[in-house]
Amino acid sequence: MELLKRKIDKFLENWKSTPRRKPLIVKGARQVGKTESIRAFGKANYESVIEINFVLQKKFRDIFADGYEVGAIIKNISLLEPSWKIIPNKTLIFFDELQKCPDCATSLKAFCEDGRYDVICSGSLMGIYYEEIESNAVGYKEDFEMHSMDFEEFLWAKGYSPEQIEDLYRHMITLQPFTQLELDTMTDVFRDYMSLGGMPEVVKMYIDNGHFGGTLKLQRQLLKDYEEDITKYAKETDKAKVLSVYSHISTFLAKENKKYQITKIAKGARNREYIGAVEWLKEAGVVNVCYCLNNVELPLKGNYDADVYKIYYHDTGLLIASLDKEAQEDLRANKNFGTYKGAIYENVVGEMLRKSGYDQLYFYKRTKPSLEMDFFVRDAESLVPVEVKAKDGATVSLNNLVKWDSYPDVKYGVKLGYKNIGWNGQFYTFPYFLTFLLKRFLKERAKSI
């Protein structure tokens, strides 16, 4: 079975070429493709690969019983599996399901200092108590956060070449509009991506079969798997709260303002009592939290209200899979993504911004005078409002943010929609499918000014 090309592939190659490389921890939500990518990398680059899964192979949880000295750990592995070849400087040790064996994290310092074996750890973020791992291995490890497939990876899966993708960016940076054929074709591909999301198993089924058959069933099973993981890994006192927050995401996204309101998910619920539940889902990688800015100004960090936020699914295909049957049929049969009050477009844009390297999402909303903006990002010098338009309409807030003297950090904006490329002197217009290139565009735009 042919593996899907992923961005982690290049990262792992670069990691291996680094002298005195540190043990690597690959973090990410459940079933985003961590194990498959690491396994394929090991097979292609090492004479020997030792793969230990702490869930399926419980006996290996005791290999640290004699301490964390590398020789003792290797000896214990060999005692349990004498047929394995553990060759110094030619072996990758892959510890999978790290969350089931916290002792493994403590060993990373010893492996780092020893240097004879390359070590990669992986696990579901739901089960990794990362603060504990951080304290045990600080300074002796490297981290990589893996997401479900982004739109560029989806294009690779569809057969598009790097040159074709680079041509998309060429249009963007030169502000050259697409032909109608180019625009229609890429829009159709993007709509497929929205419906499917980027979970590798779902994408693989779609690519292999050439149609959507079976993908919804698979997506719904993934949603159930996440709920099971919540009940498995969340602290006993928090399980009900975490599940309640998770199960109400699509409910609030269906509303006009999409703000998540804890007070409406349970009788007597208070925001401060649920902050931990929201943070848990965020740290587990299964949601993207978008916070409301206190003021439209730089810096972004620290300038937001932790009690006012929107919650998006980390994968838009899973948002769509969470909707009722009628909405499903409308979306898939008619490609009618705008019926859900713009939530699907907001979700996919938020997802694409996160996957392109924006660590935190921000929005803004005030009533007097009325002003709201879906997202804010930044370039080197300015704050950049990003408006998501499910339907073509007026851009009053975007225009005001750029024009009004009270927002000096805003020099220009970005409007995303089913529109061709354009620039009117105040904001750029880009089709949705270019969002994955926005961070690169803003960086190179700032350099050219």
CA atoms within 13 A on the CB side of 438: 34
> How distant is the alpha carbon of residue 189 from its chain centre?
20
pLDDT at residue 17, as a whole number: 97
> Are the C-beta atoms of residues 433 and 187 closer than 8 Å to each other?
yes
Please return the burial class of 248, using the count of CB atoms within 10 Å of its CB with bins 0-12, 13-18 and 19+. middle
Distances 115 to 102, 243, 346 between C-alpha atoms, Å: 21, 42, 45
Please tell me the distance from the alpha carbon of residue 98 to that of residue 105, in angstroms, as a whole number: 8
pLDDT by position in tens, the chain (length 449): 578 999 999 999 999 999 999 999 999 888 999 999 999 999 999 999 999 999 999 999 999 999 999 999 999 999 999 999 999 999 999 999 988 888 898 899 999 999 999 999 998 767 555 555 655 677 889 999 999 999 999 999 999 999 999 999 999 999 999 999 999 999 999 999 999 999 999 999 999 999 988 999 999 999 999 998 888 888 887 889 999 999 999 889 988 888 899 988 888 888 888 888 898 899 889 999 999 999 999 999 889 999 999 999 999 999 999 987 777 767 766 676 766 668 899 999 999 999 999 999 999 998 878 899 999 999 989 999 999 986 666 688 999 999 999 999 999 999 999 999 999 999 999 999 999 999 999 999 866 66
Please tell me the distance from the alpha carbon of residue 347 to that of residue 194, in angstroms, as a whole number: 9
Take residue 39 and report the two structure tokens written for it: 């396994």
Please tell me the distance from the alpha carbon of residue 100 to that of residue 55, in angstroms, as a whole number: 6
What region, left, alpha or beta, does residue 214 occupy, with left being phi > 0 and alpha being psi -120 to 50 degrees?
left
Please tell me the distance from the alpha carbon of residue 136 to that of residue 35, in angstroms, as a whole number: 23
- What's at 200, amino acid-wise? P
pLDDT at residue 351, as a whole number: 98
> Are the C-beta atoms of residues 282 and 181 closer than 8 Å to each other?
no
Helix, strand and coil percent figures for the chain, each rounded to 5: 50, 15, 35
pLDDT at residue 275, as a whole number: 85
Give the strand order in the sheet containing 383-388.
375-378, 383-388, 413-417, 427-431, 422-423
Cis peptide before 299 (omega within 30 of 0): yes
Closest CA to 319 of 360, 350, 364: 350
Please tell me the distance from the alpha carbon of residue 276 to that of residue 208, in angstroms, as a whole number: 41
The enclosing H or E element of 22 equals: none
Distances 91 to 49, 179, 409 between C-alpha atoms, Å: 6, 51, 51
Tracing tokens 């964390």 back to the chain, one arrives at 68
Take residue 114 and report the two structure tokens written for it: 């020893």
The enclosing H or E element of 377 equals: strand 375-378
